[in-house]
A and B are shown apart, each in its own frame.
Chain A
Amino acid sequence: MTAVATAERRFGGLGAATAGRRRVNGLVIYAISYLAFIYVPVMFLPLFSFNDSIYIAFPLKGFTFEWYHQMVNSRGLVQALQNSLKVAAIVSVLSTILGTLAAKAVTRYRMPGKAPAVGFILIPLVIPGIIVGIALLVIANVVGVPLSLYTIGIGHMLECTAFSMVVMISRLEGFDKNLEEASLDLGENAWSTFRRVTFPLAIPGLIASLLLTFTISFDEFILAFFLAGNEATLPIYIWSQLRFPTKLPSVLALGACILGVSFIVVTFAEWVRRRGVKGIQVKAVSEVPR
């Protein structure tokens, strides 16, 4: 009786209800201002990319596509874009393959030393990128491998494989492995079990992993900066342009384009990923043995 009465006093009273609503409203205001904090700085890129002035300052002068023309006609940029796309495409496919194999091993087999092995693969996520970059630069130098897009790709592979494994682990953990056994029991061989059961079930994870690793590789700068030879990737090209004030508006135009395309790709990736898999970054850390 008394418990019910207390509960009623706590939940039921008019005062409690309004207090609750006020607190929620406070949180809503906070959430909206936080979103503004996240978005407003980024939105200045597209805004000023249409501004008809070489100076990035208010008041806005006029509307122009000039910077987009400049951007499209820049040969260095197109070349860098192609390089980035090439590296990102290859890295995303290879790292997803490696990540998937590793995830399959981790989720399906009991084996000694599994936790250290997983921790080892996740190391690239927990040491600063600059150190990985330097270490690879040093070994390339000592062994005598010339720096090129390949060295950048190897650097990206480390990070992307770790991410891919995390995504795929949570996807593979999510479905019933009896399905595979049933398929084998019903007379399918290993390959057709993979093709007809495992693969279709893993597809959302695979797509999410491909998109995620592609985006990571495409945007990665810190490793690429150390490992780049003569051929630049897009972030390296952007970095080289930031020094020249006259080039800035076309960098803004490029930024606006990247923002737009990323928005579409990421929204799609998130949509696919969150259908079956949860919290990549969180998994990444909780998976690391402490």
Chain B
Amino acid sequence: MLFLSALVACACLSGCHGKTGQRSFEIPEEFDTAKQYEITFWAKNDTNKTQTRIYENAIAAFEELYPNITVNMRLYTDYGRIYNDVITNISTDTTPNVCITYPDHIATYLTGGDTVVPLNGLFDDEKYGLGGSEVLFDAPAKEEIIPQFLEECSFGGTYYAIPYMRSTEACYVNKTFVEKLGYELPDVLTWDFVWEVSDAAAKKNADGTFALNGQNVMIPFLYKSTDNMMIQMLKQKDAGYSTPDGEIQIFSDTTEELLYNIADHVKKGAFSTFKISSYPANFLNAGQCVFAVDSTAGATWMGTDAPLIDISADKIVEFETAVLPVPQFDPEHPQMISQGPSVCVFNKADPQEVLASWLFAQYLLTNEVQIAYSETEGYVPVTAKAQQSPEYRDYLARSGEDNAAHYRVKIEAAELLLDHTDDTFVTPVFNGSASLRDAAGQLIEHVTKSVRRKQTVDETYMKDLYADITSLYHLEQGVSQGGGSLAGKADLGPLPPTAVALLAALAAAWALILLYALRRVWKKRRGEK
């Protein structure tokens, strides 16, 4: 038994320990400017030429300051693709040096051992830390990073990333339609209000067209990210999502109640999702949607005068766009998700190369980059230094001056987050939290599709749905099976062979002791007989 236990312990430990051979990073005393460093930067943009140009300008300006560092950029338009490519490259030890990423993804990267550089030491380093004495540009001090945004990059007391941009979700409302239906738009939307107006907007004429717009298409309430929808609903209800340790809590009665409510409104034709129907902006701008929920970083696509448009000009209708926080259960205490790209630095054999990478990552926090990039969309800068700069304040003050750089909807979307930073939250990060996020969204997607397909959504359906989603996203045993929480300590991956051998030897020794003891007992009993 003891032997078996020891073997099990061996197997468990070796199964959840990390990739071997990676070395811990130690900050060099001096940055070696005599040696050339070539680093790779995997960047994400929103399929936005201005954003890619800002990255290019940032790289050029940085290389001018540090002529011995060359930054090679690879562009992505999808966080998921970056995540997949990083995972692939961890196994071959060919990760990029600097990478735009989401905290949920970093949790998985960390299962590969010392793949991602812990940044606490670098933050505080006198010479090369945030605003350090030897840094050749005007970097922000640690205290100048917005605390909520910085904390989102901390797992178990260790920082593994720096925030780059932040956004939240907004509800872009066709105010003209709301008033046409006889309603007055409140400052903060409630779920009840949105459902009531959406049900009213779904009414049809005798000829099958919709009464509100006279068209054949109307999706009154359209949600881009159903992951966020479920996460925010549960948070606002003070219901469980997950614990910091990775215990899964979404399969609850509250979730079921929310899903039934959503199903009721899908049945009335009041609600759909991006995955089922398409981009909310396209329907909003065509006068086929009343409430379109999307990221504040998608604001330039929203509204009659939006600078970015994906539908033909003849389909666009005139209406007034209001930018409001996502619907709330308790409008007195609004709660909304904080999201947006962060930047992590990957570990390499040469600490000087890592230091070069860190310097570039830090450069992305300068006012030049922060302000320029945030103005491309409804993002907000992550530093107080940028947010309070005269240049940025002037940008905000010029809201509505034009439909390009000062597009009103975009600036109001950014202001929404600036005004509600204290009302934002993030979900716990652990190895498996990315799967849980997908699962939360899929509950809504499945119910919505099922109602549209005239399937019965009842208790049996919900039971099966919970089972299917649990299995599909490998949530059977909570996430401790897959690695566990980062609130305490990062999962360490497979044990080194020496440790496995040591544990096996210990197990064997215990087994021999046990065998010897049993033999003694057996001999003694035989002697007594």
- A and B pair up: no
Q: Which residues of B contact A (CB under 8 A)?
A: none
Q: Which residues of A contact B (CB under 8 A)?
A: none
